[in-house]
Amino acid sequence: MTEATQRTSDSGVSIWLDDLSRSRIESGSLQDLIANKNVVGVTTNPSIFQKALHEVGPYDPQLKELGKVDVETAVRELTTTDVRNATDIFREIAEKTDFVDGRVSIEVDPRLAHETEATEKQAEELWAKVNRPNAMIKIPATLEGLPAITATLAKGISVNVTLIFSIERYEQVIDAYIEGIAQAAANGHDLKHIGSVASFFVSRVDTAVDKLLEANGSEEAKALEG
């Protein structure tokens, strides 16, 4: 363990890796980050997988097996395989922490961000495809995404809510979560394994604020940049 990551973990912060690829899994890199960098979870998104799928070699055997399926189906098979394998690597951590940590997130198609029913449907499909209790489905916190969050949780599916940019939207996400968990309980699901993460996009807010500070131009503003 590095001193910095150990201090971070000791302070109660769970370190998640915002990256995943077949080569990271097969090379042992992910296992090394768990053992030596205190990494206890992974989150992914389509951009991460787009970069990963350009790697030469690691995906070739599975691509040959997929044969003549359409591109979207192939991508779905490749990415859910990576997430499934990663959840298996993190399974021990998940069980030791009562599934607070040891989670791996996979995101619904961003093109569905403003389509409630389509988001809900794909979330259920991804959950079934990965088929691991420590997986999480990322759903954007758009207005249309909020009811999809509730409906997905109600089915006993763990959700990582992404694209939160304001306190107001965060409060709406909390309401959607509470309603979803209540419905899940009413539907007879074991709430112990239903996880929820609210991903507030601090970096995006920070970038926007930096631009405002730069435009201000004062010495006080410059001191706050970065």
Alpha helices in the chain (DSSP H): 3-10, 22-26, 29-36, 46-52, 60-66, 71-96, 116-130, 145-154, 167-186, 202-216, 219-224
CATH number attached to the domain at 3-200: 3.20.20.70
Is 138 one of the catalytic residues?
Answer: yes
Domain ranges of the chain: 3-200
CA distances to 8, 30, 186 from 1, rounded to whole Å, are 11, 14, 43
Select which of 138, 155, 192, 211 is catalytic. Answer: 138
Q: Output the pLDDT for position 226.
A: 65
Q: What is the largest CA-CA distance in the chain?
A: 60
Query: Which amino acid does the sequence have at 22?
Result: R
Backbone angles phi, psi at 7, to 5 degrees: -60, -40
- What is the spatial distance between Cα 3 and Cα 1, in angstroms, rounded to a whole number? 6
Contact 224, 210 (CB under 8 A): no
Q: Output the pLDDT for position 93.
A: 97
Ramachandran region, residue 57 (left: φ > 0; alpha: ψ -120 to 50; beta: rest): left
Average pLDDT for runs of 10 along the chain of length 226: 82 91 94 95 88 83 89 92 97 95 96 97 98 98 98 98 93 98 97 90 75 84 72
Q: Output the pLDDT for position 162.
A: 95
